[in-house]
Amino acid sequence: MTRPVFWDEACTALAKADAKLGRVIAGCGPAHLVSRGDPFVTLARSIIGQQISVQAAQAVWNRFEAACGDVTPKRVCRMRAATLARCGLSGRKVEYVKDLAHHFESGAIDPASWSAMDDEAIITELVEVRGIGRWTAEMFLIFNLMRPDVYPIDDLGLLKAVALQYGGDDAAGLTPKARRQLAIDVGDGWRPWRSVATWYLWRSLDPVPVEY
């Protein structure tokens, strides 16, 4: 899969600005961020996968996909709640997925308009959907839209990686508040490539590339 057009430039700039991050990038080899799926499918999968294991989420998704036949906003809008529940969705997730479909079908969410919108405007649009919070919207911006400067400051994996790389001897004893502040301070030096820095920091914890 083709790497994002900004990837090599971002890696070079980050390695030059931050020697520690440069070593992380160098140690990760040629893997890179890739975009997954169309917007509606990606967001529906994120809702279905909330608060359950990866394996359970895949099983529910497989049943959901089979019931839909074609996973589109129009199709999901027309499906009965009972049908979705039989796929394994909780009552709340049924409401969330239906609300997502209605937002797409009505035009309240219009992917064609996103190229002219900044990150915060898209986040504001997405969090109007029940079941989508800021973190989910940020993951969408990174993994689906491949926006280069998203910084999910409340992501636990990112905070852990920053503490390990930049917390020194006190890393293990940092409070959640201190970890967050450290990430804010360090992250300022990674603009305008914080999505790339975040992706590599995730990989410093797990060598398998993060997917969403």
Which residues are tagged catalytic? 155
Listing DSSP states for the chain in one string gives -PPPTTHHHHHHHHHHH-HHHHHHHHHTTT------S-HHHHHHHHHHTTTS-HHHHHHHHHHHHHHHSS--HHHHHHS-HHHHHHTT--HHHHHHHHHHHHHHHHTSS-GGGGGGS-HHHHHHHHTTSTT--HHHHHHHHHHTS--TT---TT-HHHHHHHHHHHSGGGGGG--HHHHHHHHHHHHGGGTT-HHHHHHHHHHHH-SSPP--
